[in-house]
Structure 1
């Protein structure tokens, strides 16, 4: 068996290639001079008009010329070769320096240091774009790592609460302190449903982000989507003492959109539930819709707690909470908005949030194309 092939660096390869090119150029110049120089000299000597042709003088002149041009050409070629090598080494080092920086940064990233960055390059547009793309990738990896850590931490918290509750009641029943009466069974069933809902939501978000979400497109009327969403949360709104309204003219309700009605209904339900979680008795939650240039706009507006500006860019991230304690008390999984964004994105649409600040209410807006692209029908 042969050993592993040793690889030379890019700088060494470029330097070797340039030196070979220079050597070939030197040899070529030398051969051409040897072939052409003497003939040209003899031609000029023959053109010299003189009445006395001394062969010895002519031979001496040819010998002097031959020695002079060979020595001067040799010295010139050696000086040119040495100077070229020095300049080549400088240029190769300048060329490979940013590549070495990228390599060191890549090593840091592979070791888990996602804060590694490379400085901008002045070697041209290509290197500048390479450095910018690398820094953008590193920043995205850094954000992803932070999200992953927060996700694992929040997921552990979400699982800990229902698991601890179930375990506590089971232990109490085993010790004879508690009994499996109807209230206890209802409570245990609620906790298991919470775990099931959390697992399903995480699975849906992951599938949507990986473009593996199974979407079953069908033509539906906007009015049917709105009515179904309001019906889903009307009872919870009444229990919470919040007024639930619907605003859409007849023309908008009659508009037909090609979507997965169940998934978009899930989006609207999540947004309405989110609004109910962040309102107080007497507040208003309104679901509205209108059409615009081949798109349908759906909006959920509430007069509740509002959102601070610093939280708006992160509001659709998984497990992100502007007020962790309040949301956990309401029993939310923390990924309802992330799930809504994933489903809307899978439809080729967009979703965003707006709020004028705390206690100023909030508006969550969904924009969907009336007709999906052909490539989006195959998930």
Structure 2
């Protein structure tokens, strides 16, 4: 056999005979097609070998190269002229020579080695991976005289496999859930993060439909996403909701991309899902905080407007009676009047002076309540007589307008503990309010009745009613339904604020209701029935002197981080017969309650670490499902209306502002003991 660069001439050993089966050529090709001549047959074989994309090489059993096709030149870098006649070791790395000896030994035994992956070396010394198929070459006698090798460069494939492996490792170690699916919505891959996020293992999820993790009401959303993916679109950072195996819903941000095959056809979709629950919670908290700040700002601005309006009204209400007093007094001083005119002047002066005294008294009462200096002359009393006294006081005003006052007073409503003058003031304010806003010939009704552990005083009228937007603020200071210069009624608008404060001091509640303008209004005062005690008319101080302490054996848990305040309040309560245990923190208070069930909780609000709100929240949580609730009184230095609203909304039964009068504190605790909580 002779060789030329890049060419393969027909070997003499391939001359055809009719006595033996057609032999294989050096490339392992069975020659069965008849040719006019051996030269034609050799040329045909050479053309096949030379046009192959794989390197085809033949060698002797001594390892000398005998043929070298064009693909071998391209793959190894040696030309046929350079390679033929040289040892095959020119393409074998030194550390792989033993491997070649093993191959030759197997070839000599007539074996064929297929798809053997190994490493070979180019002319420039670079190494690359190949897949070898090695076959023995036999002569006409069937003797092995050499070997043919077909070598395929598999570097790209192996590098692709490595890249795929690296990519798979990245996907599997990602913190985000990465899932792929077909266009029919069948899951085809599921990484570890998907398992951690959704709770389904890859074995459970792969092969299932993607709706496995999509809430039912979100299925149309999935159809829309698939439609966009089929058009080749990608969807970035799409916020939605998915569902875990446990049924729990989570907020996720999705990025969806189309998956294409080698021809560029879209065959599926890949999804990257990030759990954004923490971000959503933070956004919700931030929004809530902004709303709270905005609401606080609006409330502050509204309060300032209300104060400005109040000061304007106050100026008007003080100057109006003062004008009459001053004018008539000067006329009495400087002008001669007949007896009738003089009487008119004196009546006007007295009437306006009385009105001004009432205004000043209301202002002083509000000031006393705000500063905690309101004093109550507390005693056991009969509400029926208190209401009748107030009715007598307002009857002239009602008669002047032709109003009929209807009363239904239950004589068995039971005694209450309170200050008769202040409860009379409560009823008087409610009645005067009803008379003021009820037109001539209207009707006012007063009811006194007992309901379980409390009594109710109900004052209703057929008057102007209350607008729905005003109703929630009807008991606030500086609030009036109409504070314009065209308002039909005078006054400072403090009457109902005083009613609420005085009722609070008695451990009660007051509420208002109205079906709207022109449909009248109803005010309901709830007061706790007095615990069993001395005869009506006996004050708390008198009862203590008689040995009947108002808080005898009442167990009070007192919580305050201020040592002096804690000591003072303890003395106030123990002097009235209470058994008091103290705590300076929420944790200490809860420990006390574990072993010492209290009848009443008296707690400060602002404390380091955990405040009074947190204390009551934890107490109420433990009570949940039970039949009893611990009555709670908030004793705090915060005395604004919004502070009171917040403490009551938090679950406290009463809100008292420091500094506190001892009798007021004792009264409040005594009333709470008689409450259901």
Count of residue pairs the alignment pairs up: 257
Q: Is the 8 A contact 1:270 1:337 kept in 2?
A: yes
- Write the mapping of 1:36-55 to structure 2, written as runs, cut at 5 A: none
Give the SS at the match of 1:367: strand
Q: Distance in 1 between matches of 2:281 and 2:308?
A: 33
SS of residue paired to 1:309:
coil
1:172 to 1:233, Cα distance in 2 relative to 1, 3 A: closer
Aligned partner of 2:66 in structure 1 is none
2:78 matched residue in structure 1: none
Contact 2:439 2:463 in 1 (8 A): yes
1:244 is matched with which residue: 398, 405, 410?
405
Q: Which runs of 5+ in 1 are unaligned?
A: 1-119
Q: Counterparts of 1:168 and 1:203 in 2: how far apart (Å)? A: 26
Q: Pick closer, same or farther for the CA change 1:244–1:364 going to 2, 3 Å.
A: same
Query: Partner residue of 1:168?
Result: 327
Distance 1:211 1:241, change over 3 A: same
Determine if the alignment matches structure 1 residue 314 to structure 2 residue 473. Answer: yes
Give yes or no for the alignment of 1:356 onto 2:515. yes
Residue equivalent to 2:208: none
Runs of 4 or more, structure 1, over 4 Å off, are: 127-140, 170-175, 177-180, 323-331, 371-376
Q: Alpha carbons of 1:307 and 1:130: their partners in 2 closer, same or farther (altered >3 Å)?
A: closer
Structure 1 pair 200–121 and aligned structure 2 pair: CA distance change class (3 A): farther
Report deviation, 1:279.
Answer: 1.5
State the shift of 1:308 in Å: 1.8
Match of 1:155 among 303, 314, 320: 314
Q: CA deviation at 1:313?
A: 2.2
Aligned to 2:383: 222
Q: Is 1:212 aligned to residue 378 of structure 2?
A: no
Q: How does 1:104-119 map to 2 (within 5 A)?
A: none
Give the secondary-structure state (helix, strand or coil) at the position aligned to 2:664: coil
Q: Aligned Cα RMSD in Å? A: 3.4
Provide the rounded CA distance (Å) in 1 between the counterparts of 2:426 and 2:400. Answer: 21
Residues 269-307 of structure 1, C-alpha deviations (whole Å, 9 max, x = no match) = 110111111112332211112223322211101112212
Give the C-alpha shift of residue 209 in structure 1: 2.9
Change (3 A) 1:300 1:203: same
**CA 227–173 in structure 1, closer or farther in 2 if over 3 Å, else same:** closer
Alpha carbons 1:277, 1:327 under 8 Å: kept: no
For the 8 Å contact 1:279–1:303, the answer to whether it is kept is yes
Matched, 1:235 2:396: yes
Cα deviation for residue 265 of structure 1 reads 0.9
- Counterpart of 1:299 (choices 453, 458, 462) is 458
Kept in 2, the 8 Å contact 1:209–1:342? The answer is no
- The counterpart of 1:271, out of the listed 408, 426, 430, is 430
Q: For residues 344 and 503 of structure 2, what CA distance do their matches in structure 1 show? A: 38
Query: In 2, distance between residues paired with 1:260 and 1:175?
Result: 46
Matched, 1:261 2:547: no
Which residue pairs with 1:378 in the alignment? 664
Q: Which stretch of the first structure deviates more once superposed, 173-182 or 162-171? A: 173-182
- Structure having the higher helix fraction is 1
TM-score, with length taken from structure 1 = 0.58
User: Structure 1 residues 255-264 or 190-199, which shifts more?
Assistant: 190-199
| The structure with more radius of gyration | 2
Change (3 A) 1:121 1:214: farther
Distance 1:175 1:239, change over 3 A: closer
Q: 1:327 to 1:275 in 2, by over 3 A?
A: farther
After superposition, the Cα gap between the structure-2 partners of 1:138 and 1:371, relative to the gap in structure 1 and judged at 3 Å, is farther
Q: Which residue of 2 aligns with 1:197?
A: 358
8 Å CA contact 1:299–1:366 kept in 2: the answer is: yes
Quote how far apart the aligned CAs of 1:124 are: 11
In the alignment, does 2:526 pair up with 1:367? yes
Question: How far apart in 1 are the matches of 2:371 and 2:354?
Answer: 26
Q: Distance in 1 between matches of 2:315 and 2:515?
A: 33
1:324-379 deviation line (CA, Å, top 9, x unaligned): 58997665443211211121122222212111112211101111222499677336
- Cα 1:176–1:282 change in 2 (3 A) is closer
Q: Contact conserved, 1:169 with 1:178, CA < 8 A, in 2?
A: no
SS in structure 2 opposite 1:310? coil
Greater relative contact order, per chain length (Cα 8 Å cut-off, separation 6+): 1
For residues 476 and 336 of structure 2, the distance between their equivalents in structure 1, rounded to whole angstroms, comes to: 42
* 1:342 and 2:501 aligned: yes
Residue 204 of structure 1 and its aligned partner are, at CA, apart by 0.2
| SS of corresponding position for 1:213 | coil
Which residue of structure 2 aligns with residue 181 of structure 1?
342
Distance 1:137 1:346, change over 3 A: farther
CA distance in 1, matches of 2:492, 2:357: 11
